[in-house]
Structure 1
Amino acid sequence: MAKNFYKALELEKNATDEDIKKAYRKLAMKWHPDKNPDNRSEAEAKFKEVTEAYETLGDPKKKEAFDRKGEEGATGRAQQYRAHNVPRRTRSSSFTSAQDSDTFSQFFERSFDGMRRDSYNGSFSARGPRPNERPYAETSSNVPPRQPRKASAIEQSLRVTLLELYTGATKKMKIKRTVYDVGGRSTSFEDVLTIQVKPGWKKGTKITFEKKGDERPGVIPADIVFTVEEKKHEVFEREGPDLFLTQNVTLVQALCGCSFPVTTIDGRSIRVDIPEIIKPDFVKIIPGEGMPSHKDPMQKGDLKIKFNIIFPSDISTQKKEELKRILT
């Protein structure tokens, strides 16, 4: 059955020379057996197929013959070339054949000709080698390749209400990312990161999304780190596992005792009775009405009520005398 080299490279018949090179670069990298250890047999077959297609369509004379006569017109020259140029010990139907390997190596050596590896981030620059610096193509194979560095973490605040830290919540954060395909082309797109806020999380809690930063050649993408920032509440203040609120009482209530309702952070109403005298430093503790523990949401801190005693702005002489008599 005649082979369709255009189909093998995922091209139309009117493809330009540049289109053919781009297609081979993409598919050769995709199907290189070393990049596909889990399905090596399939990868070797695909790699051989795209290499054979490029050997034909990448050569103007072979391409012209293929366009006129199909596979039969192009393979005669190709087979003759292989017979004269491939040593016997390397003739094979698998990826390890010298022709397939040489085609791949020569193609990418030409692609990187005149480039040098940037010493800072491992990417390629179009500048030539510096003085006393060997070109990339001439680097000794005994020198281990430079390990890619990881980009610095990207830090972002995550503003959360006290109620969300009490009940838990789901936050969705939209980010923009740039990634590269196997052909070296960059693509930008929007991504959504979902954060499950756990009950009891504290200010300063960090949530890390590994390698979600922009991709760059020779650089491991940065982690994105969100740090919890607690929004100020109108009524409650948090100190560790405990919640605090301030209650206004009159001087009479402070001296004679009082009872009043309190709305909890999650909207429930509870009755608070104060039979004792309320002194300026007095704190009423309501057990179990504080913040949940992030390790065990059923365990909660306390609600602590502080008091602001409102003194009268004026007292008549008669009442002053009565107070003196009562309090002495």
Structure 2
Amino acid sequence: MATKVQFALVVMTIFMIFLEVFAGRDFYKILDVPKSATTNQIKKSYRRLAKQMHPDKNQDDPDAQERFQDLGAAYEVLSDADKRKIYDKHGEEGLSKSDMGGHDPFASFFGGDFGFFGGGGRQEQERPRGGDVVMDLEVTLEELYTGNFIEVLRYKPVAKPAKGTRKCNCRTEMVTQQLGPGRFQMTQQQVCDDCPNVRMVPEERMLEVEIEPGMRDGQEYPFVAEGEPHIDGDPGDLRFKIKQQKHGRFERRGDDLFTNVTITLVDAMNGFEMDIPHLDGHTVRVVRDKITWPGAKMRKPSEGMPNYENNNVKGSLFITFDIDFPKGAFTEEQKTVLKEILQQESKQQIYNGLQGY
């Protein structure tokens, strides 16, 4: 009886494993999104998880590459409307090999495969590699505040089959030659393989760069395998370097924003109220009910830039006030009235204004 129970458990275990493999991976679970998720939600979740799960950041985890591969496969399917329909109806097994095999799973964000789908492993790192390409990408301060998706047209050389063969995978090997009875000599010799010939053809491709809230000037956005191609190896990387455009109202320093406001002498003496338009369209209310002197500063907390690591945290907005003094000259009568109002006698003081620096 016990033997039959054990046999039944073994059969059930094998059957469950078979069902799990046959059913394929749960791409929604991998991407941590609901089945009703929009394309934009899928993109944002993928970007967040890709930064966390990138193998370069998890070198001590032997399963990091496999999980990153699953993440890329999930994004490839769910970000494509047609593939997503097939997956929702038939599961992963409903997707043909032509759809999944050889396609760039990280195309929309990282620009190419990461070497995991072609066998990968440590030997993949020893393959020759094309050069990296670094390009400046100008973005506005508004885009760095709210975030945005920017489409960039890329002309990329792609290898296409051509007639004939070529020498490839050339390497230096040690060759042993017999010189006579009991005599041998080892020499270095270049050995090459015969590979199908290829030609490089430029192809137009649209890359989508996500400008995340809080990204900083000079920060790089990588597209793996979108750099210079290598005919016998892997292409290099394409990296967009964020270049913040100069803004007319605000200056950014870290997560803080700085601006200057010019007010009249009347407002400086009597107080004033005003609204400053912010980068996303909301207004910052400024109220002064006391005298404002030239160079006075005001700090508005949580009105600066969002922090890149935690968008719920924002820097401060610092406002410096400049005074627009009236032009021309006052009459003697006006001067007398001003002295009575200000109740200040004429007084001058000479000092070193740089002592505080």
TM-score when scaled to structure 2?
A: 0.48
Q: Confirm or deny that 1:320 pairs with 2:299.
A: no
Higher strand share: 2
Structure 1 residues 322, 219: closer, same or farther in 2, change over 3 A? same
CA distance in 2 between partners of 1:196 and 1:162 (Å): 14
Matches within 5 A, 1:118-133: none
CA distance in 1 between partners of 2:228 and 2:134 (Å): 14
CA distance in 2 between partners of 1:213 and 1:261 (Å): 47
Matches within 5 A, 1:143-158: 148-158=127-137
Structure 1: tracts of 5 or more residues without a match: 1-146
The answer as to whether partners of 1:260 and 1:273 remain within 8 angstroms in 2 is yes
Please point out which of 300, 304, 314 is paired with 1:300.
314
CA distance in 2 between partners of 1:298 and 1:220 (Å): 39
CA distance in 2 between partners of 1:206 and 1:276 (Å): 46
* Letter in structure 1 aligned against 2:157: T
Q: Confirm or deny that 1:185 pairs with 2:164.
A: no
3-state secondary structure, aligned to 1:175: strand
Query: Which deviates more, 220-229 or 175-184?
Result: 175-184
Please point out which of 242, 246, 249 is paired with 1:228.
242
Higher helix share: 1
What is the CA deviation profile of residues 79-119 of structure 1, one whole-angstrom value per residue up to 9, with x for unaligned ones?
xxxxxxxxxxxxxxxxxxxxxxxxxxxxxxxxxxxxxxxxx
3-state secondary structure, aligned to 1:272: strand
CA distance in 1 between partners of 2:274 and 2:331 (Å): 28
Q: Confirm or deny that 1:289 pairs with 2:303.
A: yes
Matches within 5 A, 1:83-162: 148-162=127-141
* Letter in structure 1 aligned against 2:230: R
3-state secondary structure, aligned to 1:190: strand
Please point out which of 215, 222, 231 is paired with 1:217.
231
The answer as to whether partners of 1:256 and 1:275 remain within 8 angstroms in 2 is yes
Show the counterpart of 2:28.
none
The answer as to whether partners of 1:179 and 1:216 remain within 8 angstroms in 2 is no
CA distance in 1 between partners of 2:282 and 2:317 (Å): 13
Show the counterpart of 1:121.
none
* Letter in structure 1 aligned against 2:338: L
What is the CA deviation profile of residues 123-168 of structure 1, one whole-angstrom value per residue up to 9, with x for unaligned ones?
xxxxxxxxxxxxxxxxxxxxxxxx5443332110111111110110
Show the counterpart of 1:173.
152
CA distance in 1 between partners of 2:313 and 2:331 (Å): 51
CA distance in 2 between partners of 1:220 and 1:271 (Å): 55
Structure 2: tracts of 5 or more residues without a match: 1-125, 162-195, 345-357
3-state secondary structure, aligned to 2:229: coil
Show the counterpart of 2:41.
none
Count of matched residue pairs? 182
* Seq. identity, %: 32
* Letter in structure 2 aligned against 1:166: Y
TM-score when scaled to structure 1?
A: 0.52
CA distance in 2 between partners of 1:148 and 1:268 (Å): 52
Using the TM superposition, give the Cα deviation of residue 178 of structure 1 relative to its aligned residue in structure 2, in angstroms: 1.6
Using the TM superposition, give the Cα deviation of residue 219 of structure 1 relative to its aligned residue in structure 2, in angstroms: 4.5
State the superposition RMSD in angstroms. Answer: 1.8
Show the counterpart of 2:277.
263
The answer as to whether partners of 2:261 and 2:319 remain within 8 angstroms in 1 is yes
* Letter in structure 2 aligned against 1:174: L
